[in-house]
Amino acid sequence: MNQQEYINAGKDRFLNELLDLLRIPSVSADSTKNADTAKTAEFVAESLRKAGADKVEVCPTPGHPIVYGEKMIDPNLPTVLVYGHYDVQPPEPLELWESPPFEPVIKKTELHPEGAIFARGACDDKGQMYMHVKAFETMMQTNTLACNVKFMIEGEEEVGSANLGTFCKENKEKLKADIVLVSDTSMIANDIPSIDVGLRGLSYMEVEVVGPNRDLHSGVYGGAVANPATILCKMIADMHDENNHITIPGFYDDVNIVTDSDRAEMAKAPFSVEDYKKDLGVNEVWGEKGYSSVERTSIRPTLEVNGIWGGYTGEGSKTVLPSKANAKISMRLVPGQNSVKISNLFKAYFEKAAPSYVKVKVTAHHGGEPYLTPTDSVPFMAASKAMEATFGKKPIPTRGGGSIPIIALFEEVLGLKSVLMGFGLDSDNLHSPNEKFGLFNFYKGIETIPYFYKYFAEANRK
């Protein structure tokens, strides 16, 4: 059997296995799900063993375990290190799911006429990670594995990969490879293949604004004491100016400016602002003056409120002037910027901007650095040729808006570049209710990955 025949014969089984994986609620942020998260790690380990990997282990960490496995066929061949994550984002708000998040169903949609799997983690990243396991199985079973391969699948990506850096530092020899291959990003459309060549960095902050020493009756005290919720809203609103530039002093100082010719090149990638608005149900797009929607979500840094709370938010009404108000605010960073520096700038700004009638507290959560894949490199070309082989079209290099902080660390700690060959779509509802992953995308990924190994091995032949 050749690869395609093997994949065709295994289609239903591959899918059913993925559905089983999606049924385990590996929500890394939720400690009440720790047993399920551990079970998911075992599932992944077992699937690697069955696919033919050696030395498969579930490596404990102070947080969730890391799954490792390898197949070394020849020391003279290059080694691909596959990275992915088996943890998922919390599914809430549950009432907005059309079917329960951990009971996967297959439904057809406009963008996925062949059907899509609806479940938390379907695209990010269980479905995309599992493509690598099945592609590996296919290469093993058809005697076509062209490179050595190592798998490192973690369970803490969605909570900042706190323990993966240490794992890499402690296992440099074991993780020795020539390239990191990752499918945890998206492409433009099923008929417009693309490869992410950029990830943004991240600074994640939490702020608290404190007013009076206790909640107060809003009739008795309101109007005479500053309301921390009002102050917080004003402070947040002031962080963008009338051009939607971020007002934190020094915020843009280190931003690498993208040349006009590179911007012109980027603008050639198909993008319809009308379709974008329609998909999101907004009348107008918004953002930093002077930049397109694509640029605003790729080459420019941003600041977003991720959550805001304070006072009474339960059923009915309660007339209260809250003692405090809080927000979680994150900033996406671009090459040149450094997450520690930006977090410090934010803290200094927020503390200084606070009026004297409130106190503020600023804490930094996890962060991460931006990353760029060199497009004139052997691994990028191998990924490009692989997608061209299965899509019949050259993929367009694009820069994504999301972050995978560990990718910059792979370069720092392991000296390895990464290729981000993702098969999801931005509209697959990652982190949102009704997350999905197209069956077309799942199978296309499984077909494409072996070509990467083939072209990468050919280019590295010693």
Count of CB atoms within 10 A of residue 301's CB? 22
Does residue 91 belong to the site contacting ligand BES (CB under 6 A)?
no
Q: Using CB distances below 5 to 8 A depending on partner kind, what does residue 121 bind out of ligand BES, Mn ion, none?
A: none
Rounded Cα–Cα distance for residues 3 and 15 (Å): 17
Does residue 405 belong to the site contacting ligand BES (CB under 6 A)?
yes
Binding mask 169-188 for Mn ion (x = CB under 5 A): ---------------x----
Rounded Cα–Cα distance for residues 459 and 462 (Å): 9
Helix (H) or strand (E) holding 370: none
Nearer to ligand BES, 341 or 366 (CB): 366
Near ligand BES by CB under 6 A: residue from 121, 155, 395, 400: 400
Rounded Cα–Cα distance for residues 82 and 221 (Å): 59
Least Å distance between CB 296 and ligand BES? Answer: 15
Count of CB atoms within 10 A of residue 58's CB? 17
Does residue 30 belong to the site contacting ligand BES (CB under 6 A)?
no
Sequence-distant (6+) residues with CB within 8 A of 330 are 202, 203, 204, 205, 303, 304, 306
Among 366, 460, 457, which Cα is nearest to 409's? 366
Near ligand BES by CB under 6 A: residue from 17, 30, 70, 125: 125
Nearer to ligand BES, 70 or 184 (CB): 184
Does residue 154 belong to the site contacting ligand BES (CB under 6 A)?
no
23-56 residues labelled b (16+ CB within 10 A) or e (exposed): ebbbbbebeebeebbbebbebbbebbeebebeeb
Q: Using CB distances below 5 to 8 A depending on partner kind, what does residue 403 bind out of ligand BES, Mn ion, none?
A: ligand BES
**Residue, CB closest to ligand BES:** 402
Token representation of residue 258:
């993208």
Does residue 87 belong to the site contacting Mn ion (CB under 5 A)?
no
- Contacting range for ligand BES; rule: CB under 6 A; set: 231-239, 247-255, 403-411, 436-444: 403-411
Nearer to ligand BES, 209 or 409 (CB): 409
Near Mn ion by CB under 5 A: residue from 70, 87, 125, 178: 125
Nearer to ligand BES, 69 or 368 (CB): 368
Does residue 154 belong to the site contacting Mn ion (CB under 5 A)?
no
75-to-71, 246, 261 alpha-carbon distances in Å: 11, 51, 42
Half-sphere exposure of residue 25: CA atoms within 13 angstroms, side-chain side: 13
Q: Using alpha carbons only, what angle is made at residue 317 by residues 316 and 320, rounded to the nearest 5 degrees?
A: 150
Residues that bind ligand BES (CB under 6 A): 124-125, 157-158, 160, 184-186, 196, 202, 366, 368, 400, 402-405, 430
Q: Tell me which residues touch Mn ion (CB under 5 A).
A: 124-125, 184
